[in-house]
């Protein structure tokens, strides 16, 4: 066996392992290689002038093909000498020649072109090149090959190229499209075209809207050229922030897309927090061993809006000061628009409520006092059971002076929403937490959304070195016309500052018009502008018109958004605008659907 291994190791080279088992060049119209059929096209002429990248349509086509472009620099001295000779001869022909008008026109074009090229080379130091472009189309059978060949030929001719099939030159064309730098003399005689240095800019091939970040996750494929889209939205060097917005009508595929993101980022160990008003993420929480928190009358899990967590402190503020500002947002949802007097009364009562538990503006009061005779080596932060609840606030309100507040709070303390009146009884240590608020009902979703947003924001601020993400489904409920300006400001603050905590905020909605309804779209526009990645799934005409007003979309993109199929999206990723198809494996689908 050792002799056999030694023999095989000495005879099998890398090229032997790469080489196909057979190649058939017998047919002049195509090459057959291991059951694949390949046919070549030669580009033999181009428009005289182009105003854009000339290979754009060729590179962006979804035909399975290999393309080779050769640039061959010419000797400047010899080129000027030949041009001068040609100019002299053509000039004589134009002056004394007895030819028809068509021949004279062609000779005039050649004469003027030669003079122009010589001038550019002598005056502007341009270099002269020969340009050769070849294309090999690949298919599984002859019929598919002919269809693809005709499609590619149509794309080329519509772009101003003159093409010729590589019949009887199939082997040379195939070899020219391999990465071995072989440009056969047989092809060069047919496909050569001169071009100056400035003209080479128009042949730049790497213009496809394709993204392939080194540490990115797979989002889908480019509809135009089938290239993969791999994006690392946490790449601070490439993107100004990791925020995303995902807009799409019901059934367009946005929820499936978000679940895929959650699944793929879960594999990377990234903390993710989801606010789920439609109960769409229970399956993925179960599949990925995440924590599912349900708020509602039938749930035995509770969260307390009065909780002050160790990580909840804001820069430049104390614990209680930070919490009072957040509570003002929550109670503005309950009490509605309040004048300055009511705001002052509410803050006074909240301070009294925390004082009942020994919590003041001194941050030290948030830490437990060690038992008598014992010394606390590491001060312990107060637990959830040591925090006040809504009942404590309700009890200190005066029945007559504070009747407005007591009446509004009654459902949350003794009525249908009394599940808000409990101490927090669940640990929040999982890297995937789903906040299910479906049971709250349409009118009360905003309270649950704000509560989870507050909790998740504290989790995000805990460690600046770890990447994490918060997903705000149906975000219009917090920044739309039914929300308060204070709450909308809090959400905007998250999108604006989450980057410095290593976080990503994701805005998801199907009601684009509602997103821009508060204060003439101020907050919706601010959030849109603070998202480096935008995904627009299929939208209704009304929502497209609103989006067109606030987002930089062209007329063509507006039409594309309206005609998108399920699972297709127009993605704005940095400066790239890509029409993408979201793709997932069957295994992934089974985990999230």
pLDDT 10s digits, 509-538: 998 988 898 888 889 999 999 999 999 999
pLDDT 10s digits, 218-245: 999 988 778 889 999 999 999 999 999 9
Strand 271-276 and strand 432-436: pairing?
A: parallel
pLDDT 10s digits, 168-192: 999 999 999 999 999 999 999 999 9
d(CA 299, CA 306): 19
CB burial of 248-286 (b: ≥16 within 10 Å; e: otherwise) equals bbeebbbbbbbbbbbbbbbeeebbbbbbbbeebbeebbe
d(CA 38, CA 142): 9
| Backbone φ and ψ of 275, nearest 5° | -100, 120
Task: Report the 10 Å Cβ neighbour count for 548.
Answer: 15
Residue range 274-295: mean pLDDT, rounded:
94
d(CA 314, CA 221): 41
Check: CB of residue 277 under 8 Å from CB of residue 445: yes
Instruction: Tell me: pLDDT of 377 over 70.
Output: no
Instruction: Tell me: pLDDT of 201 over 90.
Output: no
pLDDT 10s digits, 553-580: 888 888 889 899 999 999 999 888 889 9
| Backbone φ and ψ of 471, nearest 5° | -110, 120
How many percent of the chain have pLDDT more than 90?
Answer: 64
Instruction: Tell me: pLDDT of 208 over 60.
Output: no
Q: What is the pLDDT of residue 360?
A: 95
Q: What is the pLDDT of residue 406?
A: 93
Q: How far is CA 506 from CA 143, 451, 532, in A?
A: 46, 17, 11
* DSSP character at residue 540: -
d(CA 470, CA 459): 10
pLDDT 10s digits, 451-468: 999 999 999 998 888 999
Domain ranges of the chain: 20-74+127-207, 245-301+426-593, 306-421
Instruction: Tell me: pLDDT of 297 over 90.
Output: no
Cα 25–59–165 angle (5° rounding)?
35
At the topology level of CATH, where does 306-421 sit?
Helicase, Ruva Protein; domain 3 (1.10.8)
pLDDT 10s digits, 14-58: 788 888 989 999 999 999 999 999 999 999 998 877 766 788 788
Tokens of 540: 């209704």
Could you report how far apart the first and last alpha carbons of the chain are, in Å? 52
How many percent of the chain have pLDDT more than 70?
Answer: 96
Q: What is the pLDDT of residue 13?
A: 77
| Backbone φ and ψ of 69, nearest 5° | -125, 125
Taking the CA atoms of residue 481, residue 521, residue 460 and residue 442 in that order, the dihedral angle to the nearest 10 degrees is 20
Closest CA to 459 of 319, 316, 311: 311
Instruction: Tell me: pLDDT of 7 over 80.
Output: no
Instruction: Tell me: pLDDT of 440 over 60.
Output: yes
d(CA 290, CA 284): 8
At the topology level of CATH, where does 245-301+426-593 sit?
Rossmann fold (3.40.50)
d(CA 587, CA 590): 5
pLDDT 10s digits, 310-347: 888 877 789 999 999 999 999 999 998 888 999 999 99
Residue range 355-363: mean pLDDT, rounded:
94
Q: What is the pLDDT of residue 538?
A: 94
CB burial of 471-497 (b: ≥16 within 10 Å; e: otherwise) equals bbbbbbbbbbeebbebbbebbbebbbb
Q: What is the pLDDT of residue 207?
A: 60
DSSP SS3 for 496: helix
Check: CB of residue 182 under 8 Å from CB of residue 204: no
d(CA 518, CA 484): 8
Q: What is the pLDDT of residue 140?
A: 94
Task: Report the 10 Å Cβ neighbour count for 359.
Answer: 22
The pLDDT mean for the chain works out to: 90
d(CA 494, CA 473): 15
- Residue carrying structure tokens 């990234």: 270
Strand 31-33 and strand 36-45: pairing?
A: antiparallel
d(CA 214, CA 196): 36
Give the model's confidence band at 373: pLDDT under 50 very low, under 70 low, under 90 confident, else very high: low
* Whether the model pTM is above 0.85: no
Q: What is the pLDDT of residue 230?
A: 93
As a three-state string, the secondary structure of 217-244 is EEEEEECCCCCEEEECCCCCCCCCCCCE
Instruction: Tell me: pLDDT of 380 over 80.
Output: yes
Residue range 146-163: mean pLDDT, rounded:
92
Residue range 202-208: mean pLDDT, rounded:
72
Instruction: Tell me: pLDDT of 470 over 80.
Output: yes
d(CA 164, CA 324): 75
CB burial of 550-586 (b: ≥16 within 10 Å; e: otherwise) equals ebebeeebbebbeebeebbbbbbbeeebbbbbbebee
- Please tell me the chain's helix, strand, coil percentages from 3-state DSSP, rounded to the nearest 5: 45, 20, 35
pLDDT 10s digits, 383-439: 999 999 999 999 999 988 889 999 999 999 999 999 999 999 988 889 999 999 999
Q: What is the pLDDT of residue 202?
A: 82
Listed ranges 8-12, 210-214, 537-541; the one with the highest mean pLDDT: 537-541
Closest CA to 337 of 445, 451, 482, 478: 482
d(CA 533, CA 245): 7
Instruction: Tell me: pLDDT of 112 over 90.
Output: no
């Amino acid at each position: 066996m050792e002799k056999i291994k030694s023999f095989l190791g000495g005879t099998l080279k890398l090229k032997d392992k790469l080489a196909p088992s057979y190649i058939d060049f017998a047919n002049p119209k195509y090459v057959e290689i291991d059951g694949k059929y390949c046919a070549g096209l030669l580009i033999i002429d181009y428009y005289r002038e182009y105003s854009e990248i000339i290979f754009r349509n060729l590179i962006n086509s979804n035909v399975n093909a290999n393309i080779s472009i050769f640039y061959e620099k010419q000797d400047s001295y010899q080129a000027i000498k030949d041009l001068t000779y040609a100019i002299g001869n053509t000039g004589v022909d134009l002056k004394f020649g007895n030819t028809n008008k068509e021949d004279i026109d062609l000779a005039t074009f050649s004469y003027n072109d030669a003079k122009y090229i010589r001038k550019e080379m002598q005056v502007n130091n341009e270099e002269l090149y020969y340009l050769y472009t070849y294309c090999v189309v690949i298919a599984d059978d002859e019929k598919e090959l002919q269809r693809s060949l005709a499609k590619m030929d149509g794309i080329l001719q519509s772009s101003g190229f003159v093409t010729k099939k590589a019949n009887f030159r199939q082997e040379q064309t195939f070899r020219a499209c391999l990465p071995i730098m072989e440009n056969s003399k047989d092809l060069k005689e047919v496909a050569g075209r001169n071009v100056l240095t400035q003209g080479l800019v128009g042949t730049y091939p790497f213009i496809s809207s394709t993204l392939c970040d080194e540490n990115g996750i797979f989002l889908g494929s480019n509809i135009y050229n089938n290239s993969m889209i791999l994006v690392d939205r946490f790449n601070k060097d490439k993107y100004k922030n990791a925020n995303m917005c995902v807009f799409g009508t019901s059934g367009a595929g946005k929820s499936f897309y978000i679940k895929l993101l959650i699944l793929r980022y879960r594999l990377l160990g990234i903390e993710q927090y989801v606010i789920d008003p439609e109960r769409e993420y229970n399956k993925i929480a179960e599949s990925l061993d995440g924590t599912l928190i349900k708020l509602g009358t039938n749930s035995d899990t509770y969260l307390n809006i009065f909780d002050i967590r160790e990580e909840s402190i804001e820069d430049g503020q104390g614990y209680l000061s930070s919490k009072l500002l957040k509570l003002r947002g929550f109670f503005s949802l309950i009490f509605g628009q309040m004048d300055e007097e009511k705001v002052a009364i509410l803050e006074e009562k909240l301070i009294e409520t925390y004082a009942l538990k020994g919590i003041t503006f001194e941050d030290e009061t948030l830490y437990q006092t060690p038992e008598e005779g014992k010394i606390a080596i590491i001060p312990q932060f107060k637990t959830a059971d040591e925090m006040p609840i809504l009942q404590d606030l309700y009890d200190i309100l005066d029945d007559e002076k504070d009747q407005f507040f007591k009446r509004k709070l009654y459902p949350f303390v003794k009525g249908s929403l009394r599940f808000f009146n409990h101490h927090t009884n669940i640990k929040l240590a999982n890297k995937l937490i789903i906040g299910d608020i479906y049971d709250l009902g349409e009118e009360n979703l905003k309270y649950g959304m704000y509560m989870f947003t507050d909790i998740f924001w504290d989790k995000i601020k805990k460690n600046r070195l770890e990447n994490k993400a918060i997903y705000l489904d149906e975000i219009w409920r917090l920044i739309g016309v039914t929300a308060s300006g204070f709450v909308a400001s809090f959400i905007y603050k998250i999108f604006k500052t989450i980057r410095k905590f290593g976080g990503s905020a994701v805005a998801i909605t199907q009601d684009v018009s509602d997103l821009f309804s508060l204060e003439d779209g101020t907050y919706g526009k601010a959030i849109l502008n603070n998202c480096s990645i935008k995904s627009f799934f299929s939208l209704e005409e009304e929502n497209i018109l609103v989006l067109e007003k606030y987002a930089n979309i062209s007329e063509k993109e507006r039409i594309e958004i309206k005609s998108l199929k399920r699972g297709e999206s127009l993605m704005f990723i940095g400066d790239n605008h890509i029409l993408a198809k979201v793709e997932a494996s069957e295994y992934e689908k089974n985990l999230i659907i």
